[in-house]
């Protein structure tokens, strides 16, 4: 390495371009966590420089201590390569891309803010630091920083000469038609913040002054600006009658030149950029497993001299650019949203890669060890980068069903039920079969049916789920992968061999007893019970005679046919009351049957909630009249009849005929 200490302007003085490699993550600095603290550091050094100048004027600079420079961290870059008449030399940024990108955005904002001052020296200096000299047929070479694919359009927009605050606000709005909220790209947020704060400071308004707007709720100027950037199309600016002060602009530029220090490390050919990237991550946002794996894969492709741009476009671009639901502008990203599966909470892309690595390693792993386990797997054999990227992108498309199931296919229905049953540990095992069979094949349908049967039967019977990770990944997946077996019959045989209360696949007799008699509903598991009732409704609807699909209705809720406060409508018989033992047993039996599947159904929002605690004679007509569910057609035949223990058990038996078909047992 060749180390050096540089100032902020010196980073950009040469006619070179910092290229953020595809194996790096995109821009992630946020206003509150990194941008505002950087601004506070800048103003702090600017105040210190002002004080130093004032004291120097009084006593002379030789009698004063040298004013302290602020250390901005480390930047690691490769050697400058390429260049010529039509292009500038480019350096790969191995670490520090967030700092380099942010400092360039700060200089772009300063360029645009001081333009009305018509200060020739400032204009020339900032032009030198924000645009490479030359006439280029490809305008990208004029940029000082060339981000990854996600940020290139944004950087080109911000670097456009003649830019002003209003243009950027219009081009990147915070809200659309109907006040639909968008998330401005983070680089745009940084530019808007710097532009407003620079303008304010050059007019004598500090970031920590109280905002004077009536609706500011006593927030500071900086806090109000951040809130406005997030919420308003036209960003709020503090009002001032003062003109822009050119002396303050020069002082700010001098602060950037003399008040900050950056450790510059230029790699030589023998240095390994991957090792350095993994170990150097100073002030920036922490790297996630998906960042490290992405970095690693594209670095491998670079080393093999593969077409990295093509690989990115074909396999990784959706992970970076796919917009979130109901967000067509691409501000918020689908794969960067938080999600929870079981006890694991992370961004969606990290969850996907957690399952992918578990699939490759055939073992359970902690979320904190995903990258290390991936790297260990990669180095254990010769890998083809393109093939592995393709496998990840294919599994990503399947994983979208696990995150947002659309129940118009066997896989979609399976994913929805597993989501409601809160069972995600079998995902790597499902991935294994999806890599060998089409999702809509009969073979895959049998795999999903058996796995769902296993989970549902154990839930109905109240068996533990604690060993599911070991069963699905460490045993079933590992054994099948080792044997090279991937047929539905192989999986069924392996599942049939599971022994012991903690893992066996429950038979029809055990399933039947629990189905008819066990209290399933416990309040906190209403989503799990809903999964069972939805499956029954789908089975009842599968004759194709009814077009209504209840699985597309998100407002279905679980309803007790006999109210949970049953005593009013279901009084104990006199014989039960004469014997305390009989009375206790009867109450216990009724409480159990009350929560059993025979007394549970689904109702829509049309159902009158005020009737929930009414007698069956009152509730039944409301259910049959307002519900289109086949599950509730059963109650049409109950007119004039009592809803009691025998009726609940009879309905359980009737539903079990369908349950055994939906979730066939091991025999």
Q: Quick one: pLDDT at residue 578?
A: 55
Looking at the structure, tell me whether residues 344 and 210 fall in a common domain. Answer: no
As a whole number of angstroms, the distance between CA 465 and CA 471 comes to: 10
The verdict on residue 291 lying in a domain is no
Tell me, yes or no, whether 275 lies in a domain: no
The verdict on pTM exceeding 0.95 is no
301 close to 385: Cβ distance less than 8 angstroms: yes
pLDDT per position as a tens digit, 621-648? 888 887 888 898 899 888 878 888 899 9
- How far is residue 7's CA from residue 72's CA, in Å, rounded to a whole number? 10
Handedness of CA 611, 613, 615, 621 (dihedral sign): positive
359-366 long-range CB contacts below 8 Å, 24 or more apart? 359/395, 359/428, 359/431, 359/432, 359/477, 362/473, 362/474, 362/477, 362/478, 362/481, 362/482, 363/473, 363/474, 363/478, 364/469, 364/470, 364/473, 364/474
Distances (CA, A) of 335 to 176, 212, 311, 314, 400: 22, 39, 19, 17, 9
Predicted pLDDT of residue 576 = 55
Rounded Cα gap, residues 48 and 601, in angstroms: 71
Q: Tell me the CA end-to-end span of the chain in Å, nearest whole number.
A: 66
* Same structural domain, 138 and 25: yes
Are 354 and 220 in a shared domain?
no
In the three-class reduction of DSSP (H, G, I as helix; E, B as strand; rest coil), residue 46 is classed as helix
Its domain, for residue 359, covers 305-404
Q: Is residue 443 part of a domain?
A: no
**Domain check: are 237 and 377 in the same one?**
no
Say whether both 262 and 371 belong to one domain. Answer: no
The reply to whether 630 falls in a domain is: yes
Residues 192 and 138 in one domain: yes
Same domain, 547 and 641: yes
For 338, the enclosing helix (H) or strand (E) is strand 338-341
Out of 343, 370, 404, a domain closes at 404
Q: Which two tokens stand for residue 74?
A: 């480390």
76 and 139 share a domain?
A: yes
pLDDT of residue 4: 79
* 664 strand-pairing partners: none
Angstrom distance (rounded) from CA 454 to CA 460: 10
Q: What pLDDT is stored for residue 284 in this prediction?
A: 47
Is there a single domain that holds both residue 329 and residue 238?
Answer: no
C-alpha triplet 542, 548, 554: angle, nearest 5°: 105
- One domain, residues 256 and 319: no
pLDDT of residue 544: 46
CA-CA distances (angstroms) from residue 182 to 166, 168, 179?
17, 14, 9
Q: Is residue 481 part of a domain?
A: no
C-alpha angle 390-394-397 in degrees, rounded to nearest 5 = 145
Domain count, the chain: 3
Residue at a domain's end among 363, 384, 404: 404
Q: What pLDDT, on the 0 to 100 scale, is given for residue 265?
A: 83
Measured distance CA(522)–CA(387) in Å, rounded: 47
74 and 219 both lie in a single domain:
yes
DSSP secondary structure letters along 489-558? HHHHHHHHT--STTTPPP-HHHHHHHHHHS----STTHHHHHHHHHHHHHHHHTTS-----GGG-TT-EE
What tokens were used for 189?
């947020």
End of a domain among 246, 266, 286? 266
Model pLDDT for residues 131-144, shown as the tens digit of each residue: 998 888 888 999 99
Closest by CA to 139, choosing from 163, 115, 156, is 156
Residue 323 domain-assigned? yes
Q: Extract the residue ranges of the chain whose pLDDT is less than 50.
A: 214, 216, 281-284, 329-330, 544-548, 552
pLDDT for residue 159:
93
pLDDT at 272: 58
- Whether residue 440 lies inside any domain: the answer is no
Clarify whether residues 12 and 161 are in a common domain. yes
Position 511 in a domain: no
Q: What is the pLDDT of residue 627?
A: 80
User: 378 CB contacts (<8 Å, ≥6 apart)?
Assistant: 296, 300
Q: What pLDDT shows up at residue 531?
A: 92
In contact, 430 and 448? CB cutoff 8 Å: yes
DSSP state of 23: T
Tens of pLDDT along 155-202? 999 998 778 899 999 999 998 877 778 889 999 999 999 999 999 999
């Amino acid at each position: 390495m060749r180390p050096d200490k540089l100032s902020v302007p010196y980073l950009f003085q040469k006619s070179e371009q910092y290229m953020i490699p595809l194996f790096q993550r995109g821009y992630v600095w946020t206003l509150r966590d990194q941008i505002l603290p950087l601004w506070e550091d800048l103003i702090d050094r600017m105040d210190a420089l002002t004080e130093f100048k004032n004291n120097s004027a009084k006593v002379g600079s030789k009698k004063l201590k040298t004013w302290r420079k602020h250390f901005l961290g480390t930047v690691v870059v490769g050697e400058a390569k390429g260049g010529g008449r039509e292009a500038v030399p480019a350096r790969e940024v191995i670490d520090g891309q967030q700092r380099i990108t942010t400092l360039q955005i700060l200089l772009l904002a300063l360029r645009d803010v001081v333009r009305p001052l018509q200060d020739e020296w400032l204009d020339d200096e900032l032009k030198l630091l924000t645009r490479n000299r030359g006439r280029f047929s490809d305008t990208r070479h004029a940029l000082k920083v060339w981000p990854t694919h996600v940020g290139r359009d944004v950087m080109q927009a911000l670097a456009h000469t003649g830019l002003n605050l209003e243009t950027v606000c219009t081009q990147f709005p915070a809200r659309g038609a109907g006040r639909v909220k968008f998330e401005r790209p983070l680089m745009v947020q940084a530019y808007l913040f710097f532009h407003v704060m620079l303008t304010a400071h050059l007019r004598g308004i500090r970031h920590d002054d109280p905002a004077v707007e009536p609706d500011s709720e006593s927030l500071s100027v900086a806090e109000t600006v951040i809130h406005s950037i997030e919420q308003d199309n036209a960003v709020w600016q503090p009002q001032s009658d003062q003109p822009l002060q050119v002396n303050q602009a020069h002082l700010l530029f001098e602060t950037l030149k003399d008040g900050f220090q950056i450790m510059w490390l230029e790699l030589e050919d023998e240095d390994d950029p991957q090792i350095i990237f993994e170990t150097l991550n100073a002030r920036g946002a922490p790297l996630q497993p998906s960042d490290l794996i992405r970095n690693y894969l594209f670095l491998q492709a670079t080393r093999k001299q593969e077409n990295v741009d093509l690989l990115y476009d074909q396999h990784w671009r959706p992970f970076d650019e796919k917009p979130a639901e109901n967000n067509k502008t691409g501000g918020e990203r689908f794969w960067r949203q938080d999600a929870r599966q079981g006890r694991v909470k992370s961004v969606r892309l990290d969850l996907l890669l957690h399952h992918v690595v578990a699939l490759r390693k055939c073992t359970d792993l902690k979320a904190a060890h995903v990258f290390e386990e991936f790297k260990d797997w990669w180095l254990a054999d010769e890998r083809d980068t393109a093939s592995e990227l393709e496998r990840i992108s294919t599994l990503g498309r399947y994983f979208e069903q696990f995150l947002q199931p659309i129940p118009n296919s066997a896989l979609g229905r399976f994913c929805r039920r597993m989501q409601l049953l809160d069972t995600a540990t079998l995902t790597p095992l499902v991935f294994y079969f999806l890599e060998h069979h089409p999702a809509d094949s009969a073979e895959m349908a049998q795999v999903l049916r058996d796995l769902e049967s296993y989970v549902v039967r154990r839930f109905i019977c109240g068996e533990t789920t604690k060993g599911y990770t070991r069963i699905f990944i460490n045993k079933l997946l590992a054994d099948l992968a080792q044997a090279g077996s991937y047929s539905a019959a192989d999986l069924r045989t392996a599942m049939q061999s599971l022994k012991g209360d903690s893992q066996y696949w429950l038979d029809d007799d055990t399933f039947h007893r629990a189905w008819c008699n066990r209290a399933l509903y416990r309040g906190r598991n209403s989503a799990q019970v809903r999964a069972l009732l939805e499956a029954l409704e789908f089975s009842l609807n599968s004759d194709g005679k009814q077009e209504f699909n209840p699985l597309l209705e998100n407002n279905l809720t679980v309803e007790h046919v006999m109210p949970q406060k049953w005593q009013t409508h279901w009084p104990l018989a006199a014989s039960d009351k004469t014997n305390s033992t009989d009375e206790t047993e009867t109450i216990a039996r009724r409480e159990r049957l009350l929560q059993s599947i025979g007394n549970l159904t689904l109702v829509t929002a049309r159902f009158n909630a005020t009737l929930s605690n009414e007698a069956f004679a009152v509730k039944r007509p409301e259910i049959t009249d307002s519900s289109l569910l086949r599950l509730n057609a059963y109650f049409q035949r109950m007119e004039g009849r009592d809803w009691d223990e025998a009726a609940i058990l009879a309905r359980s038996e009737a539903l079990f005929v369908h349950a055994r078909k939906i979730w066939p047992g091991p025999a």
